[in-house]
């Protein structure tokens, strides 16, 4: 049973607007959460992460929010750019180097 | 250039014919891992290795074998492939655990191997 769930398989957003990607998890022991980005024919690449002791982490246009009580995290991309069109994977770990990944959300940024 | 390489990138084979997918990293990483990506299921871990001669099962190890005889290489072996092993496979490496502040170190992924078993 998947412990990390991304319930929206796809998201379409207009260039310049905000993209919001959601991720839910079931394992309350998860301590670290990460987002990876994947372009076609390439491997995933690390985007941003957050520790469970924080509720927000920002890196340029990318911000990750963590709501531990709801077991929910989200990734905000502002403003969205055409190069952001990719598959985004949410991942989590239990104080460990092993990661559990979600199914991914395909983001399409429209010009 | 720091990278993880996988070979082959594409492979079509038949049921029962043993195959090996190679993975090599040049970053002196301790930790290496194999994942498979399937539609609707995301990335699922097959096997991982924390060091030479140390390997452990991930979430979906059935039908796969691995070995870690050298630090840089982590081949994935399918002794008797079956059609349900048709998938996109990724190898990844990292320094492992970054400590309580940093958490898990960034995993660097190879470009993927698309395997079709007929």
Listed in sequence order, the residues at least 6 apart from A70 whose beta carbon sits closer than 8 Å to its beta carbon are: none
**Nearest-by-Cβ selection for A43 from B42, B59, B110:** B110
Is residue B102 scored above 90 in pLDDT? no
Q: Do B42 and A101 touch (CB under 8 A)?
A: yes
Quick one: pLDDT at residue B15?
97
Upper half-sphere CA count for residue A17 (Cβ side, 13 Å)? 12
- Report the alpha-carbon distance of residue A40 to residue A55 in Å, rounded: 31
pLDDT of residue A21 exceeding 90? yes
All residues of chain B having their beta carbon less than 8 Å from the beta carbon of residue A95 are 100, 103
Per-residue confidence at A20, pLDDT binned at 50, 70, 90?
A: very high
Sheet holding B65-66, edge to edge: B4-7, B19-25, B76-78, B65-66
Other beta carbons within 10 angstroms of residue A84's beta carbon come to: 18
B25: closest CA of chain A, how far (Å): 14
B41 shares contact with chain A (CB less than 8 Å): yes
Mean pLDDT confidence for B36-47: 93
Nearest CA to A40 out of A111, A104, A90 is that of A104
Any A CB within 8 A of B97 CB: yes
pLDDT tens, position by position, A59-108: 999 999 999 999 999 999 999 999 999 999 999 998 677 889 999 999 99
How much is the pLDDT for A89?
97
For residue B105, give the chain A residue with the closest CA: A97
pLDDT at B112: 97
Q: Are B103 and B52 in contact (CB under 8 A)?
A: no
Show residues of chain A in contact with B96, CB under 8 Å. 97
Searching chain A, which residue's CA lies closest to the CA of residue B30?
A97
């Amino acid at each position: 049973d998947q412990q990390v769930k991304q319930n929206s398989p796809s998201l379409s957003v207009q260039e310049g607007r905000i993209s919001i990607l959601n991720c839910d998890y079931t394992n309350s022991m998860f301590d670290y959460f990460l987002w990876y980005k994947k372009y076609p024919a390439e491997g995933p690449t690390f985007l941003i992460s957050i520790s469970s002791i924080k509720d927000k982490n920002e890196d340029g246009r990318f911000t990750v929010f963590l709501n531990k009580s709801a077991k929910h995290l989200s990734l905000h991309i502002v403003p969205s750019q055409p190069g952001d069109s990719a598959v985004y994977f949410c991942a989590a770990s239990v104080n460990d180097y092993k990661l559990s990944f979600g199914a991914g959300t395909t983001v399409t940024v429209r010009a | 250039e720091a990278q993880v390489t996988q070979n082959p990138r594409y492979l079509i084979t038949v049921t029962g014919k043993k195959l090996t997918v190679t993975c090599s990293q040049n970053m002196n990483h301790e930790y290496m891992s194999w994942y498979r990506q399937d539609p609707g299921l995301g990335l699922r871990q097959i096997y991982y290795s924390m060091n030479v001669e140390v390997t452990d099962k991930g979430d979906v190890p059935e039908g796969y074998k691995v070995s870690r005889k050298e630090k840089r290489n982590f081949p994935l072996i399918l002794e008797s492939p079956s059609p349900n092993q048709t998938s996109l496979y990724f190898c990844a490496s990292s320094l492992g655990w970054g400590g309580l502040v940093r958490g898990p170190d960034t995993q660097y992924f190879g470009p993927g191997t698309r395997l079709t078993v007929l």
